[in-house]
Amino acid sequence: MKKILYVHGLDSYPHEQRLEWLRSAGHRVWALHLNYREQADAFFLLEKVIVSEGIDFVVGSSLGGRLGFWLGEKHGIPGLLFNPALAMEIPGLQVPVMEPTRCPARWIVLGETDEVVDPHASWAWLRQLPCNRLSVAMIQGLGHQIDAATYEQSCRWAGLGRF
């Protein structure tokens, strides 16, 4: 059983179906509903959950994937990230400046036809990392939205399947 922090994307919310899938696989899941446009300190709110609950895995998508990447980096926690907005600047959002040196294991799913987060820019950004514990899947025909089958298959790929 893992203690998972689920981090949703910009103008989104925690998807109950995704949370339930993780719970049904035997994991404990925490998910805050954040309004990133009004909560510039979202990174630090999420970090408090990591520390207080002993989180040991992060699942995030889009902006939540970006936050999940840096939360994982700061705390040495592995993660599964869907279309993370890694190569994008998000005005006003507070994220500490740090170098990627801890490099926990990460599974990254990029939708080849994502029209919101450029998957090729994300892939170029990822290739520059000094980390070797990175698994990336560029999925043909997948856009920004992650369907249930892709979500479940990706969770299994990252070792979050039923046990």
The DSSP result for the chain, as a single string, is: --EEEEE--TT----HHHHHHHHHTT-EEEE----TTT-TTHHHHHHHHHHHHT--EEEEETHHHHHHHHHHHHHT--EEEES--TT---TT---------S---EEEEEETT-SSS-HHHHHHHHHTSS-S-EEEEEETT--SSPPHHHHHHHHHHTT-S--
**Could you tell me the pLDDT band of residue 99, with boundaries at 50, 70 and 90?**
confident
6 pLDDT above the threshold of 90: yes
* Tokens matching residue 113: 């036809």
Over residues 14-40, the pLDDT tens digits come to 989 999 999 999 999 999 999 999 999
Query: What's the chain's average pLDDT?
Result: 93
* Residue 73 dihedral angles phi and psi, to the nearest 5°: -65, -50
Q: Mean pLDDT over residues 42-48, rounded?
A: 96
Question: pLDDT band at 163, cuts 50/70/90?
Answer: low
The pLDDT assigned to 162 comes to 72
In the block, residue with structure tokens 């994008």: 88
Q: What is the pLDDT of residues 144-155, one digit of tens each?
A: 999 999 999 999
pLDDT above 90: residue 65: yes
Per-residue pLDDT averaged across 43-71, rounded? Answer: 96
